[in-house]
Structure 1
Amino acid sequence: MSTTTPTRPSVSGTSRTNRQPASRWLVLGVLLLASVYFLAPVWWLLVSSTKTSSDLFSGNGFWFGHFALFGNLHEVFTHDGGIYWQWLGNSAIYAVGGAGVSTLISAMAGYALAKYTFRGREFTFSTVLAAVLVPQPLLAVPLYLMFSQLHLVNTYWAVLLPSMVSPFGVYLARIYAASSVPDEIIEAGRIDGAGELRIFATISLRVMGPALVTIFLFQFVSIWTNYLLPVLMLADDHLQPVTVGVVGWQAQRAIGPSAVPFNIVITAAMVSAIPLVILFLSLQRFWRSGLTAGSVK
């Protein structure tokens, strides 16, 4: 007469299923803390921009007081002869011009490093990687000394020219071109009689679209939020970007009766962040489509 021994549940399987919910809660808790850490300053900025100068120093800093947003906006755009408009225009010139040219240069350089074989290619790419690791503040003073010799200090070019070069953009374009632009498409274009420039402009740039959007976003944000380079290069208030201008208003706040009210400074800082939010929201669909296309390929 045969006897069957009862099967015991797997201890390892049970412990694995018990650990999974705990790990999920841990990840969720870390993500929640990170969200609070990053969103709390944004919420404080939004709430503070709706308050009067007296309400900023009374009550709860993370909740609304007397709603004065429209009055604050009017004071921002009319203070000091409406110079805030010019600061926004300068930032747009620096960010759009610098990011656009930088994206094109990065695409051309990255494509060449990925698809063409020439002497010194690996050394050139290693130099680009080394440039990525160099902190940008270290280059500010040498750039100032060089531009002062060229008589470009206190001009638009003093900020535009350094913004047109992005080693990280070249690196990203090279990696994306190597993995996403098939050599067969390039060869097919050559067989059809297309030149190298036409192949790059009509075929490769379209395939590299998601990478170019990423490069443009990174460079735009970097230029828009840059403070050290403009404050070194520009002495004229009418050439300064919005970052330098708002910090200048903050500095004036400590100078007696001519001080700029604190509610104007905070509202100006809030307005300066709106273009970045609009840019991310308008370009995120290109990011998503690029990620989906890359996964299918």
Structure 2
Amino acid sequence: MTATLHEPPLTVASAPADAQHSAEPAAPRRRPRRHIASTGAVNGLLVLGSAYMVLPLLWLVFAVTKDPASLYGSSAFTPGGAFFENMQRLVTEDDGLFLRWLANSILYAGVGAIVGGFVALMAGYAFDKFSFRGKNTLFGSVLIGVLIPNTATVIPLYLLAASIGATNTIWAVLIPAFCNPFSVYLARVFSAGYLPDETLEAARVDGAGPIRSFFSVGLPMLVPGFVTIALFQFVGIWNNFMLPLIMLQNRDLFPTSVGIFLWQSQVQQNPEYLPLVIAGSFLSVVPLIIAFVLLQPFWRSGLSAGSVK
């Protein structure tokens, strides 16, 4: 009689539950419907805002290429063949009056942006770095000036200019541009963000006074802020309409905004002025684009200039 040994069946040890779960591919997470709806709403608003800003400019680009007959008789975004004809008529109308208006706008906006931006930069630097009596009260008055619309100050400015005989001169437009409460507010924000107190303290330890500290240390570090303020000033003065309309009577001193309005008021009696209005509006946008393109490197060059090393 022989005995047989029964070996237990071989069993494969089951893997741990955690290992099995880790081996399985992770199922993609589904975004909540509420998140998708909010993202779509935000993107839709951005698209509408972009269209609101881009479509009028795009229409202007196509309209400047058309003559009066095709302006209303063709599609809005169909190009025409009268671009050079419109430009030639624009620069020769009234012995080149529009070129004088364009030069006036460049003078008002350029000088106002540089001088006004520098004045605002010094004021913002003083409000941020210096301590003096009445500092908060004065800065509060600056903030109140930000809340007041520019159109509300046109009549008081005209009465002040008339009292000293400055109306119908370039100074009636330039002097108000040198003082901008919003630019002062921006300058203080840039001074607090770009210019650390430790840097000025090191300059004082080296023997630099307040004026030298500003021009040698503070001003180079605040160049991005100055460029931003100057751009805001330039665009604001370039688009200013009410102040030169009230202050100036001589059309040789008009900026482009008032000059184009003068032509626009004659369109109903003489439709031939409509291409001049469109061409003038197109040409008046070009200096703004050039200013933004040329100042972009200076704008981005010092974004980290205020970091403490």
Scaled by the length of structure 1, the TM-score of the pair is 0.90
| Aligned with residue 163 of structure 1, among 170, 177, 182 | 177
- CA–CA distance in structure 2, aligned partners of residues 186 and 295 of structure 1: 13
Asked if structure 2 preserves the Cα contact closer than 8 Å seen for 1:111 and 1:177, the reply is yes
Residues 178-257 of structure 1 correspond to what in structure 2 (within 5 A)? 178-256=192-270
Structure number with larger C-alpha Rg: 2
Asked if structure 1 preserves the Cα contact closer than 8 Å seen for 2:91 and 2:99, the reply is yes
Asked if structure 1 preserves the Cα contact closer than 8 Å seen for 2:196 and 2:308, the reply is no
Percent identity at matched positions?
Answer: 43
Residues 18-29 of structure 1 correspond to what in structure 2 (within 5 A)? 20-29=35-44
Moved more, 141-150 or 175-184: 175-184
Deviation at residue 37 of structure 1 after TM alignment: 1.5
1:45 matched residue in structure 2 = 60
Amino acid at match of 1:269: S
1:266 matched residue in structure 2 = 278
- Structure 2: unaligned runs, 5 residues or longer: 1-13, 22-27
Query: What do you get for the CA RMSD once the two structures are aligned?
Result: 2.7
1:93 matched residue in structure 2 = 107
- Structure 1: unaligned runs, 5 residues or longer: 8-12
Asked if structure 2 preserves the Cα contact closer than 8 Å seen for 1:249 and 1:260, the reply is no
| Aligned with residue 72 of structure 2, among 37, 57, 60 | 57
Deviation at residue 18 of structure 1 after TM alignment: 5.7
1:280 correspondence with 2:292: yes
Distance 1:222 1:282, change over 3 A: same
- CA–CA distance in structure 2, aligned partners of residues 29 and 286 of structure 1: 33
Amino acid at match of 1:267: A
1:121 matched residue in structure 2 = 135
Amino acid at match of 2:297: R
* Count of residue pairs the alignment pairs up: 293
Amino acid at match of 1:264: L
Distance 1:75 1:118, change over 3 A: same
Cα deviation, 1:58-113, whole Å, max 9, x if unaligned, reads 11112213x11111111000001111111011111110111111111111100011
Deviation at residue 17 of structure 1 after TM alignment: 5.8
Amino acid at match of 2:59: W
- CA–CA distance in structure 2, aligned partners of residues 153 and 261 of structure 1: 29
- CA–CA distance in structure 2, aligned partners of residues 185 and 160 of structure 1: 35
Asked if structure 1 preserves the Cα contact closer than 8 Å seen for 2:194 and 2:305, the reply is no
Scaled by the length of structure 2, the TM-score of the pair is 0.87
Distance 1:73 1:295, change over 3 A: farther
| Aligned with residue 110 of structure 1, among 117, 121, 124 | 124
Q: 1:51 is paired with a residue of what secondary structure?
A: coil
Asked if structure 2 preserves the Cα contact closer than 8 Å seen for 1:250 and 1:260, the reply is no
